Structure 1
Amino acid sequence: MKGTQARKPAVDTALGPLSLAWVCLAVLVLGVSCTGDAPPRRQHPEENVLRIAVPSDPRSLDPAIAYDVVTWPLVRTLFHGLVDYDDDLNLVPWHARSWSISEDGRTITFKLRRDIRFTNGRSITSRDFAWSLERILDPATKSPGQGFYRNIAGARAFQDGSADRVTGLRTPDPETLLIELVHPDLPFLYCMAMPFAYAVPREEVERRGETFGRHPVGAGPFVLADWQRGTRMRLEKNPAYYLADEIRLEAIELMVGGDETLHMMMFERGELDIASVTSTGIPDADFIRVMKDPVLSQRVAHQPLNAIQYLSMNTEMAPFDRVNVRRAVNHAIDRQRIVNLISDRGILARGVLPPGMPGFNEALEGYDHDPEKARRLLAEAGYPDGFTTELMITAQSGIDTKIGQAVQQDLGEVGITVEIRPVTGSTRIEATGRRGAVPFSTFGWYQDYPDPSNFLDVLLNGNRITEVNSTNVAFYDNASVNALLNEASTSTDQDLRLALYREAERLVVEDAPWVFLYYPQMYLLRQPWLKGLKLNPVWPIRYELMWIEP
C-alpha cells in the first residue's frame, strides 16, 4: 500500500483562494492556541462525531482505484469484502460466512451471508463479487490492483481481449462464489481481503462512470453524505448496515487542506480527535515535544510497521537506467543521518523486506555511506561530473521535506544536482505509477498482507509494470528476479518460497532500483475522549471501531 504522497519552482509563492483561506485559519489558530498544561476541551462535546484532517483530497473512493494509507481506511467504512483480519492477523469471515479450498489448492469456494445490502437497497449476491473482480481485471478500469488477481483462470485471456469474461469466476447460485486459480497461490486469500476485492454495484458504477469514486455506493457501516473537494468530507452512519448496532460513531468529519503543523495546532485546541492520520503520524516538528510531555505521551499509540520508506529510481529513464548510477546514489546518501533527522522513528534498511516480514534476511549488507565510492561509480557510468535530476516529494509532509533536503545535500557533494518538486500525495501516487513520467521520488510501502510477495513481487516484478497505475514505480525488470518471484508464487512449500524470495531480494539489492532508507514505525496521537483506536499491522486505522466518550 502506498504512502501518502510542466516544470515549476520548488516553492509556489502564488496563493489561490483556498490557500489564502488556510493561511488565515492558521493565523487564527496561532493567535488563540492554548498554552500550559490544561487539557483541551472538545469543541463539540455533545456530538459522537469523529473529527480528523487530511492534507489533500483522496484521489478516489472507488475500491478499484484507491490505494494509499489515508484512503483505504475510508474505503473500509463505505464498502464490504468477503474476508477480513482479526487483531492477530488471522483471516476471518466477513461477508463470506465460510470458505473452503480444494485439495489441489486451485479452487476456493465462498459461501455468502444473505443479510447484507448495498446502500441503494439491493441485496448483494455472488455475482456482485464476481463482477467487481472482473472489473479490477478490465484494462479499461486501470486499477492498480489488477496484478493481484491475474492468477484467476481466464484473467489473462480477458485482459488481452481474447475472452469476454473471466472463466475462473463462477456463481452457481446467489450465495456461492467459486474462484478457480491457474496454480496454487498461498497469498491469494490475503488478496481477497484487500479493498480491491470489495463488492460494488454494477448498476451504480455504470450509471456514474468515471465519477463513481466521488459518488460511491457500497455496503459498509457509513455512507458518503457530503464531499466539497478541497474543503471537507462527511461520512454518516449507515442505518441499514447489518451490524449497525455495533457502530457507535454517528459520523466522520474530515477537514481537507492545511499541513500537519496546522492540524497539530487544531488538535491541541480540541478541534481534531487525531493529530494526523497520514503515514507520518505525529508531525515531525512536534514528535520530541510530544514524547517528552507527561500528558501527551500517554495519548500516543505506537506500533512497528511492516513497511519501508525508500527513494525510487526509474530504471527506464536516464541516467537511472545505468546500474552504477543507482549504486552511486545509494552510496552517496547518508541514511543514518536521515533516520536521526526524523527523531529515530525508523530502523535503517539494508534491503526490501522489513524485520517483521517472513523471509527477512539479517545477512544483507546493503550500501554504506561512501561518497568517494559514489564518485568512482559515477565516473564508471559515464557521469564524472555528475548530472541534474528532479526529486518528487509530498509537499505537506515534514518528513518528506527533511528527506528531500538531506538527499539534495548528500548528492550535491558527489556532483549530482537535485531539484526538489513538492506535490500532493495523490499527485505523487498517480505520477510515479505512470510510465516515463517521474525519474526520482520518495516513496513508502505498507504491507497489504503478511507475505514477502507483497513487497518483492508487487513492487519489483517486471510483470507488474503497466503504463499507468503501476505498482512497480521503479519500472525495474530483471529476468532472473522475475523467474525467482514467479517460481515462488506457484510453490506451496513455504521454506522453498522464502529461500526464493531471499535470493530475489539479494539480486534486487545488487541492482539498486531503490535507495533503501528505513523501516518506519507508527505513532498516533489521539484525544483522551477518543475510544476504540486499535492499531493493526494491516489496518493501522479502523474508524468503524471508534467512538467518542465525553
Structure 2
Amino acid sequence: MFSLLRSLLLPGLLLSSAALAAADSGKVLHAYFGAPESGFDPAAYSDRYSLEVTSNIYETLLGYDYLARPQKLVPQLAEALPQISDNGKTFVFRIKKGIYFTDDPAFGGKRRELTAQDVVYSLQRLVDPTAKAPWDFMLKGKVVGLDEKIAAGQKSGRFDYDLPIDGLRALDRYTLQIRLKKTDYNLPNILAAPATGVVAREVVEKYGSDFSAHPVGTGPYVLKDWQRATRIVLQANPQYRGETYRPAAGATGVDGKVAQELAGKTFPRIGTIDIRIIESAQGAYLAFESGELDVLQGLGAEFTRIVAPGGKLGEAYVKRGVKYFREPEADLTYLQFNMENPVVGGYSPDKIALRRAMAMSMNQAKLISVVANNQALAAQSPVAPGITGYDPAFKNTLNSYSPARANALLDRFGYKDVDGDGWRELPSGKPLLITYTTSTGGDRRDFEEFLLKSLKGIGIKLEIRKMPFSE
C-alpha cells in the first residue's frame, strides 16, 4: 500500500491506559473513502468503510498493536487477554471498570457504564436470525447453547435476548465467560473484529430501524454529521478516557522512529475527522493536490509514477512537506465464485474444471506489473503480510499461469466452441457466459480489461455488471 500524508499525525487505536486529555478541537483531518458507507451498526454491515467509522465509535474486547509485525492482540475493553481453560473451550474476560457510553437521551440523563452484560447482548446481535446478520458465521456452530437459541428465534420469529445460555454469560458486572463446543484458540481474534463492537441495548431499542444513524459507543470519536454517501464528520469524544501507545509485550517489528514520535502522546489528538466520499481515484488525487485532502491512503497505481518515480518521493512533494509510506498491506484482493450459481457453482468435475481453467488463464505477474504498477505482491495463501501465520518463504505450487493447460482442461470436460463463433459453449450446448459483478466506484478499467482479455484467451465470454459498493 502506498499512502501520502501532509504533516499531520493520524489518530490510531494502538492503546494503553492514560490520563484523560482533550483532543485539539482546532485540528481537522480531511480524508476520503473510495466508496459510500452503508451505516454505523457494527453487527449489521460488513463493508470496509462503514467498519472504519464504527471502529472509531465503538470498542471491542480486544484490539491490535498495528505497529507490530505481525500485528499483535492487545486488550481494549478487557483488562487483559482472556484466561483460557478447558483445552481452549472456555474463555474468561475481565472488563475494565469506569468505561462509559457517550451521553444520549436513551440513558435518561444518567451516565451509563459499559458492563459484561452489554458484551453478551452485543455478541448475540451478531446471530439474531430476525435481523441483518452478515457476521453470524463468527459464532454460529461454536458457542454452547447458541445454535438452539437461534433455531428457536427462527421458529418463533422473535429472538429472545433475555433467554440465558450456558455458553455466553456475564458472571458478574465486569466478568464475561464464553464456552465453546470445541477447541478454538482463534476466538480472541474474532473478538477483536469491528463487528463485535459493544453497543448499549437502550440505544438500539430507542432508535429501532434508525439505530445505524445514531451510533453511541465508548470509543474516541462520535458521529457529528452524516450526509449519506457524501460526507461523514467525526468529532473527538469529550468523554473518552484517553489512551497512549506502548508497544505490546512481546511485539516485534515495531518501527522505532514511529514509536518514538508517539511516545507520551495521548489519543485522540485530532478534534475533527472530515471524510468525503470520492469514488474516483483521479478525483481523490486531484483533491489531495489542491489541498482539499490531508491524507491519500492507498494511492492508485496509476499515480505512483507521478508521485514517487523509482520509489522515491518527488522533490516537489518533499518541499510541500508531504510524507509518504509504502509497505505491504494486511489485505488480500481476490475473485470469488458464487458457488450457488448454475454456471460456475457446484462440485461436479466439469464445474471444478471450469473454475480451474479460469484461474489458470490469468497472468498474475502481468497483473501486478502492468495493472498494479508493481504496487502489489503475489498472494501465495489466504494469509496476508503482517498477519500471524504469514510465511514469506511459502510458495503456492498450484498458482500457475497456463492458457494452454486451461484450454485443454475445458476441451476435456466438454466446454467447446460448437457454433464456431469463437466462444465456448457449456457441455449442454447452451451459451457459456460469465458475469463479473463489481463496484461502480474506483477506476478499475485496466483490471476489467485484464479480465476480459484473460478469459477471451480461453474462449470464455465475460459480462461486467456494476453496482454501488454498499450493495
Q: Cα offset for 1:359?
A: 6.6
Partners of 2:64 and 2:41 lie apart in 1 by 21
2:326 paired residue number: 302
The 1:401–1:167 alpha-carbon spacing in structure 2 relative to 1, beyond 3 Å, is farther
Partners of 1:95 and 1:269 lie apart in 2 by 40
Q: Cα offset for 1:422?
A: 2.6
The 1:353–1:223 alpha-carbon spacing in structure 2 relative to 1, beyond 3 Å, is closer
Decide whether the 8 Å contact of 2:357 with 2:405 is kept in 1: yes
2:357 alignment partner, one of 328, 339, 356: 328
Q: Compute the TM-score of the two structures, normalised by the length of structure 2.
A: 0.75
Q: Does 1:126 pair with 2:125? A: no
Q: What secondary structure, in the 3-state scheme, does the structure 2 residue paired with 1:263 have?
A: helix
2:46 paired residue number: 67
The answer to which of 125-134 and 336-345 deviates more is 336-345
The answer to which of 199-208 and 366-375 deviates more is 366-375
Q: Cα offset for 1:52?
A: 0.9
Partners of 2:188 and 2:7 lie apart in 1 by 44
The one-letter amino acid paired with 2:92 is T
String of CA shifts for 1:64-114, please: whole Å, max 9, x gaps. Answer: 133344333321210112222223233222211234222533222211122
Q: What secondary structure, in the 3-state scheme, does the structure 2 residue paired with 1:109 have?
A: strand
Show the 5 A alignment for 1:378-389. Answer: 378-385=410-417, 386=424, 387-389=432-434
Partners of 1:303 and 1:155 lie apart in 2 by 41
Decide whether the 8 Å contact of 1:390 with 1:421 is kept in 2: yes
The one-letter amino acid paired with 1:260 is A
String of CA shifts for 1:296-318, please: whole Å, max 9, x gaps. Answer: 47722122134322211223213
Q: Cα offset for 1:46?
A: 9.8
String of CA shifts for 1:313-348, please: whole Å, max 9, x gaps. Answer: 223213213011111111222222111121112222
Q: What secondary structure, in the 3-state scheme, does the structure 2 residue paired with 1:326 have?
A: helix
String of CA shifts for 1:332-374, please: whole Å, max 9, x gaps. Answer: 2222211112111222235434466527583531243222322
Q: Does 1:269 pair with 2:268? A: no
1:253 paired residue number: 274
1:349 paired residue number: 379
Q: Does 1:90 pair with 2:121? A: no
The 1:85–1:40 alpha-carbon spacing in structure 2 relative to 1, beyond 3 Å, is closer
Decide whether the 8 Å contact of 2:51 with 2:195 is kept in 1: no
Q: Does 1:50 pair with 2:95? A: no
Show the 5 A alignment for 1:537-548. Answer: none
Question: Tell me, which stretches of 5 or more residues in structure 1 are unaligned?
Answer: 4-38, 428-550
1:116 paired residue number: 99
The one-letter amino acid paired with 1:416 is I
1:339 paired residue number: 368
Partners of 1:353 and 1:82 lie apart in 2 by 23
The 1:273–1:347 alpha-carbon spacing in structure 2 relative to 1, beyond 3 Å, is same
Partners of 1:79 and 1:310 lie apart in 2 by 29
Note the aligned Cα RMSD (angstroms).
2.7
Identity %: 27
Partners of 1:112 and 1:141 lie apart in 2 by 27
The answer to which of 97-106 and 56-65 deviates more is 97-106
Q: Does 1:192 pair with 2:191? A: yes
Decide whether the 8 Å contact of 1:231 with 1:255 is kept in 2: yes
2:139 alignment partner, one of 142, 149, 153: 149
Decide whether the 8 Å contact of 1:109 with 1:178 is kept in 2: yes
Decide whether the 8 Å contact of 1:267 with 1:273 is kept in 2: yes
1:376 alignment partner, one of 398, 401, 408: 408
The one-letter amino acid paired with 1:51 is H
* Number of aligned residue pairs: 382
Q: What secondary structure, in the 3-state scheme, does the structure 1 residue paired with 2:308 have?
A: helix
Runs of 4 or more, structure 1, over 6 Å off, are: none
The one-letter amino acid paired with 1:95 is L
The one-letter amino acid paired with 2:441 is Q
Structure whose residues are more often helix by fraction: 1
The one-letter amino acid paired with 2:437 is M
Q: Compute the TM-score of the two structures, normalised by the length of structure 1.
A: 0.65
1:286 paired residue number: 303
Decide whether the 8 Å contact of 2:380 with 2:395 is kept in 1: no
- Which of structures 1 and 2 has the bigger CA Rg? 2
1:102 alignment partner, one of 58, 82, 85: 85
Q: Does 1:417 pair with 2:452? A: no
